[in-house]
Structure 1
């Protein structure tokens, strides 16, 4: 590294990658929260549906219409939605773990590079404090 304090291109590239991973992690986290809310809503609706007897009148919205439907049909539709939300949530959790792992690895690489370049103390063994 030159004495003028310029950041080497490899470090600039890794910093850009780190920022991109942080943005990706935030996006996945937002998606995960949205799916969790949808899942809670589906579970709450299923719980309320269980309290109704078979003769209860149930309406489902389709666009701007409300259509009378049977309890079994609504229960099946809600169960399918819940299952879909469960799968989507698991996928997002795995994606979040992968991105978090990449983020931490890149962060450690940067700390090692910066520590080896003598830009201060050895940060390779320091606890991670950047980002997420």
Structure 2
């Protein structure tokens, strides 16, 4: 039995590592999106407590812009919807990556099993 790893197995290992890195990147993106969504939900909750004629300020880049409650609530709801859609997309990507990871693991097991024989 040769101790050298066949090129096919090396390729599969490289693919497995790449898929693992993609999964880690997606997990980081998902955490970031969830954090942003939570912040927006908390801000919306606080805005709902204010009177309808309250003057609020919202961040636009480096500036704080005066706004009315209704406009700010609408923008926050739009942001929450966008974040929810992004999270759904990331979840679907995670599922695909997970399936691909499992598939590659099985291929590697088979390749290693046939190599040992």
Q: CA RMSD in A?
A: 1.2
**Long gaps (5+) in structure 2:** none
Q: Partners in 2 of 1:61 and 1:12 — Cα distance?
A: 50
| Aligned-partner Cα distance in 2 for 1:8–1:53 | 70
Please give the TM-score of this superposition, normalised by the length of structure 1. 0.84
Deviates more, 1:98-107 or 1:65-74: 65-74
Off by >3 Å, runs of 4+ in structure 1: none
- Give runs of aligned pairs for residues 97-108 of structure 1, distance below 5 A: 97-108=95-106
More helix by share: 2
Bigger relative contact order, structure 1 or 2 (CA pairs below 8 A, ≥6 apart)? 2
Match of 1:39 in 2: 37
What is the number of equivalent residue pairs in this alignment? 117
Structure 1 residue ranges without an equivalent (≥5)? 120-132
The corresponding residue for 2:107 is 109
Structure 1 stretch displaced more, 32-41 or 58-67: 58-67
1:63-78 paired onto structure 2 within 5 Å: 63-78=61-76
Provide the TM-score with structure 2 as the length reference.
Answer: 0.95
